[in-house]
Homo-oligomer: A and B are copies of this chain.
């Protein structure tokens, strides 16, 4: 059996979740997200955010694409589109889920190595859009979307988000953070972005369960900063198929995740395993495609070594860099051929697996 570093959703779930599902299994409780466990989870999330009683609205749904499409189609005006990095998840990996709700994903260039959308890029786009006297002929920018952590394993600081907030405020546009991997983003540099800062920085964000130890489920948090974007959200949640009859499945999971900081501890573990792996690879002078501090590592590897390691481990191809890209990374033409692969750790990764990976790296590299 090969050990997998393919992604952070290869195992089932944190044992505490299964335990609580079992313990509560025969309790007869209400449906559709109005049960006591959902309510308890909502309360805990609100407390961690330091929110007053009506300051946040929290809902749960089963998956990440679903959360994105429900939030975006609920918040956007009918004619508006959502701004995203051209490599954002909604732009590339959700099979046009946003467009299927009638809204365009308006793509902006992000930094090609970090995948991050930045405030100046947004500011320039919006200034040009509104300077155009025939702007109604072009797709209306009605929301800013980005992921934290990104698809590239990078993360945002409060300062970076705040700069985006300033642009958004100038044009009165809501910000939505796709937090499918919010846990590892927050655990990467806790001093640079704290969970409770999100309440002031963005209008709506998700807290990903699936990639951080849940069986399924994402929490959707509206911060009600200014406009009440959460208004009548249960209608959209139902209409788009996101409301489960057995809401307990999501409620119990998030109640468990937000008890004793389990959510954050699971993410810390994932990041610690990534740190171990990163340190080991750096010791071996491995080059990184992009510098990350979360649970995703993107490294350069020779095709030969890749093939050998794939016999015992699972991980994914990311891309084959061009000569120009290699040169930007300080690798000369005379050097070997390289591929970029992605290694992902998770709440379930064992440190022995990392050791084993590094050992076999040494074995194969020295062949």
Contact = CB atoms under 8 A, between A and B. Distances in A.
A211 B246 CA distance: 9
A144 B348 CA distance: 45
Interface stretch (A133-141, A155-163, A298-306): A133-141
A24 B10 CA distance: 11
A224 interface: no
Contacts of A104: 96, 99, 104-105
A323 interface: no
Q: Is the interface of A mostly helix, strand, loop or mixed?
A: loop
Interface string A257-300: 00000000000000000000000000000000000000000000
Contacts of A58: none
B239 A100 contact: yes
A238 interface: yes
Contacts of A28: 1, 3-4, 10-11, 314
Given A74-B78, A140-B232, A216 B244 contact: yes
A88 B215 CA distance: 32
A13 interface: yes
Interface in A213-234: 215-216, 232, 234
Nearest to A24: B12
A64 interface: yes
Given A4-B28, A235-B95, A63 B65 contact: no
A94 interface: yes
Contacts of A26: 11-12, 348
A254 interface: no
Interface residues of A, number: 81
A145 to B, nearest CB: 15
B74 A96 contact: no
A63 B348 CA distance: 28
B77 A245 contact: no
Interface stretch (A15-23, A47-55, A119-127, A191-199): A15-23
A249 B215 contact: yes
A240 interface: yes
Interface of A: 1, 3-4, 7, 9-13, 15, 18, 21-22, 24-32, 62-70, 73-74, 76-81, 92-97, 99-105, 107, 134, 136-140, 210-211, 215-216, 232, 234-246, 248-249, 314, 348
